[in-house]
Amino acid sequence: MDIVVLVSGRGSNLRAIVEAIDEGRCAARIVGVVSDRRSAPALQFAEERHIPTRVVHPREHSPREAWDAALAEAVGAWGAELVVLAGFMRIVGPAMIAAFPWRIVNVHPALLPSFPGSDGPAQAIAAGVRISGCTVHLVDAGVDTGPILAQAAVPVRGDDTVESLHRRIQRQEHRLLPSVVDAIARGWMRLGASPTVAPAHEPSDGSTGFVSPPFV
């Protein structure tokens, strides 16, 4: 399956997908990487791997709807079958959602529907919860409100800082996101308003897709 990955920063989830592809754990091919920031280190990594890149900077497209349309055009030029938001720090709008209905996947550092939006780890610590984690979900018109595809849990420890919790959550993101992309690429997971997992690949414990043990 041809995918385009959207990034804003270091690209640790992009690296995790590339590693999974290299090791045969993810049946996808990255045909392009798009960023909203020219300085994103993920772009350099992509170029080193000979993956085509493109920057669609919001300041060069006004109003915001024009940026969203330019983003959809840039992603669509590669003929992607799936769009993966891997640390992309902007909300995609109607043009992107219309161009790729139920084909945009995001990874979020919290167990949705709890703590949507920015700073999921900080919200978890402020709320005093004992378990947090990450969620891979489809993107819809809301903010982190799309159908959940998979989740992984981590404990929130008494001495956790936002940074330490986020690092532990990211380790699970790096495992979970490539496995979901692989499941979609192999047809084990069918996307839509009510995603389904092929019976042969459903978790035996009745949980929702690819959920890790709670304390990892």
Predicted confidence band of residue 209 (pLDDT cuts 50, 70, 90): very low
Which residue among the candidates 50, 57, 61, 108 is catalytic per the annotation?
108
Q: Catalytic site residue 166?
A: no
| pLDDT on residue 151 | 97
Burial of 53 (0-12, 13-18, 19+ CB in 10 A): middle
For the chain, the domain total comes to 2
Kindly state whether residues 58 and 113 are assigned to the same domain: no
How far is 164 from 144, CA to CA, in rounded Å?
23
The pLDDT of residue 198 is 81
Instruction: Tell me what the mean pLDDT of segment 131-143 comes to.
Output: 97
**Domain shared by 67 and 141, yes or no:** no
The CATH number linked to 16 is 3.40.50.170
128 and 26, same structural domain?
A: no
* Contact yes or no for 7/33 (Cβ under 8 A): yes
Q: Which of 82, 100, 118 is at the close of a domain? A: 100
Please name the residue that has the structure tokens 């610590």.
125
Give the pLDDT of residue 173: 97
Share of the chain above pLDDT 90, in %: 88
Asked if the model's pLDDT at residue 92 lies above 80, the reply is yes
Q: Read off the tokens for 159.
A: 């001495």
33 has a pLDDT exceeding 70: yes
What's the rounded Cα separation, in Å, for the pair 11 and 63?
Answer: 27
Amino acid at 157: R
Question: What domain range includes position 135?
Answer: 107-216
Residues 94 and 116 in one domain: no
CA angle 107, 113, 114 (to 5 degrees): 95
pLDDT band at 158 (very low <50, low <70, confident <90, very high): very high
Structure tokens given for 12: 């640790």
Same-domain pairing of 118 and 68: no
pLDDT tens, residue by residue, 170-202: 999 999 999 999 999 999 999 999 999 887 665
Assess whether pLDDT exceeds 70 at residue 210.
Answer: no
101 burial type by CB count under 10 A (0-12 exposed, 13-18 middle, 19+ buried)? middle
